[in-house]
Amino acid sequence: MRILCDVNILARANERSSGPVRALLLSLLEKGHILLTSSEILVELARVLRYPRLQALFGLSEEQIYNYVQFLREVSQPVIPDYTLRVSIRDPQDIVVLQTAVSGEADIICTVDKDFYDVETIAFCAALGIDVCNDRELAKRV
């Protein structure tokens, strides 16, 4: 499967995490699923990992953040988002996630962001053959 993990999933799957999301990420890669990402998503991930709340939780150094983002660059398929694609979603920062998923021909967007579960967004994704699910549901599928 071609899977795009949103920043909220990737942030919880970092190298200092021993939780189920880290195990899910490693399992996806081990089983040969294709992880899709874009430079925009990885830049956002690096920014989010510096949030005080996540620093308190994971305590990642700048070097660890860099290494994690680099790891994701190496193990994922890079996608250039289709910036011409117009989508309706509440948070403008989520547009690039949808653009990346469409350009990368994703089968699944894995996210816990409630905006992706809006009826209109689900219908948009479904029309393109993209499922939206959270990490627990994805773990059951793979």
Mean pLDDT computed over 113-129: 96
Which pLDDT tens digit goes with each residue over 54-102? 999 999 999 999 999 999 999 999 999 999 998 889 899 899 999 999 9
- Strands ordered across the beta sheet of 108-110: 77-78, 34-37, 2-5, 108-110, 131-133
Mean pLDDT computed over 24-34: 98
Q: How confident is the model at residue 103 (pLDDT cuts 50, 70, 90)?
A: very high
Q: What is the pLDDT of residue 59?
A: 96
Cβ neighbours around 132 below 10 Å, total: 23
Mean pLDDT score of the chain? 97
Does the pTM of the predicted model rise above 0.75?
yes
Q: What is the pLDDT of residue 87?
A: 86
**Which H or E run includes 36?**
strand 34-37
Q: What is the pLDDT of residue 52?
A: 97
